[in-house]
Chains A and B, each alone.
Chain A
Amino acid sequence: MSEYYLVDVKSISSKVPRSQFSEDELEMLARSILDAGGLLIPLLLKQTGAESYDVLAGDRQYYAAVKAREINPRQAETVNAFVVAEKSAQAAIQQFSVLYPEPHDRSPQRPPTDGIDQRLSNLESRLESALQEIKQSQKQDVQRLEQQIQTLQKQIPPKVEALEIFNSASSVELLQKLKSAGITGKNATKLITAIEMARAEEKFTSFTDIVKRTNGLGLPRMLAILDAWNHRV
């Protein structure tokens, strides 16, 4: 059976060298893949591992998809493809070549005519695969670095200072914060209204400022709140 899937471009490889196809044409096709929201003639693929595939037909589209991914890595991460079972592979390739003869007219498998051609095309494919490897390892390096940075950032304790909470927490956040300090119900609602009124006039500049300008928030209560928050953090 041939199943229709979205396959990760990075998990596909082709045996035909990229240089068989004109870069201008690939570029144009790539743009159209992005603009049309996908490749309209799916690739034919053979699955070779849990996350690896070989192109059976559609090498030109494949390189266009690679190019599209280079242009927009997020949007073109995957490509439309039929994943073909071993036993239907021949029939699938034949159907494909009848329906879409044009890419095959280029006969990508054309044998090189003389020694220099042979060497050139070998060189080409070696360059191509070396380049791919470099790109791959560079991408992995960047990813690893980004992850390490993120892990590090997570270890830095978020610096939410009490003053910042008074100045910018939403009413819902304030409600929860006050609850953790044992202030609930009507008391909390009243206090939040008072805080919001005072900070709307002007940002609080210090804890003394908060106590001075917030109705119903005396020094003992303020200290109780700060102690409770400090304990939680």
Chain B
Amino acid sequence: MKTIAIYHNKGGVGKTTTAVNLAAAFRNRGKRVLLVDIDAQANSTFATGLIKFQFEEDDDIKDKNILQVISAGDFDFIPEIVRQSKEFNTPEIDVIPSHITLIDEQQRLNRLAASRLRLNTKLQLVEDDYDIVIIDAPPSRDLYAEIALIAADYLIIPSDMKPFANQGLANVKNFVGEVNETRASIGKAPLHVLGVLPSKVMTNSRYLEYVFPRQRETALQHYGFPIFDTVIYERVVLSNCINQTLTMGKLEIPDPKSIFEFDSDSDSVKEFRNLANEIQQKIGA
């Protein structure tokens, strides 16, 4: 089992798109995949078709999500909380969903001495059930991000390569350093940074010729992180596949799809296949 966290403390850099479609890419190769959403915004949970309800009383995630996994030590193990994505991909993937209540609970969990280690411990218990675990971490430097980086073996940092995202890499670097201290205390090797993944990159040819190479060079020189060869470009099809809906009378029901399910001939599909290839080479899965 290889566990990969997707994290950058700058938001809007294509984190969720990367997490869910990468999970689909591995699943389509026959890997047993678990996607863990630990971002209170629950974007990955939505993108895998688990939030189709329109009204609070139909919310079936509230009492069975990542929060319970982190809160209890002797209860609420992965097999009890996990569910399958819905009409997201063929075949579907396993998901530990997130929920907006994570925001309220952070203060309490911060006081809970063992909360940082629970996800790590519980993932170890299912190491024979999955080949790849992908953790979608929140775009902040908080308890939940820490939990994600403690549980993971590898880190992918999606970035649009623009100045703010690049400057944020310094924070990521410090954060990884802190997390490595905690990892050492539980006998875990330091987090292996697979690299910065250029994502949401504009397809404008002048930009690609003049600006992008310089931004790339900066990330490499200043922060010392490796950069992925694969680039995930910003494409209409990539946002469309998440924004699909079904209408019934007056109701509009979300019907998000993986890029593979939505348009298997698109350029984005090729990019995610390349990404999966590159990762498999790096981690030997």
Contacts and interface: CB of A to CB of B under 8 A. Distances in A.
A10 B73 contact: yes
A179 B248 contact: no
Contact of A77 (B52, B73, B80): B73
B125 A147 contact: yes
Contacts of A151: 79, 129
A74 B75 contact: yes
A139 B73 CA distance: 13
A147 B77 contact: yes
A232 B253 CA distance: 21
Contacts of B251: 172
A102 to B, nearest CB: 27
Nearest to B128: A151
B267 interface: no
A4 B111 contact: yes
A175 interface: yes
A83 interface: yes
A154 B251 CA distance: 33
A232 B90 contact: yes
B114 A8 contact: yes
Contact of A172 (B72, B187, B248): B248
B151 to A, nearest CB: 14
Interface in A109-130: none
Nearest to A144: B125
B79 A150 contact: yes
Interface in A42-57: 50-51
Contacts, number: 71
A73 interface: yes
Nearest to A174: B248
B185 interface: yes
Interface in A1-34: 4-8, 10-11
A5 B77 contact: no
B234 interface: no
Dominant secondary structure at the A interface: helix
B163 interface: no
A104 to B, nearest CB: 25
A189 interface: yes
A73 B79 contact: no
Contact of B117 (A6, A50, A83, A143): A50
B30 interface: no
A84 interface: no
A172 to B, nearest CB: 6
Given A8-B73, A179-B255, A189-B249, A147 B79 contact: yes
B107 to A, nearest CB: 12
Contact of A7 (B108, B114, B246): B114
A163 interface: no
Interface of B: 52, 72-75, 77, 79-80, 86-87, 90, 108, 111-114, 117, 125, 129, 185-187, 246-249, 251, 253, 255
**Shortest 6 CB-CB contacts between residues of A and residues of B:** A150-B79, A5-B113, A50-B186, A6-B112, A7-B113, A50-B185
20 contacts: A10-B73, A50-B117, A50-B186, A51-B117, A74-B75, A77-B72, A77-B74, A143-B74, A147-B77, A147-B79, A147-B125, A150-B80, A171-B248, A172-B251, A172-B253, A175-B248, A176-B253, A179-B246, A180-B87, A188-B248
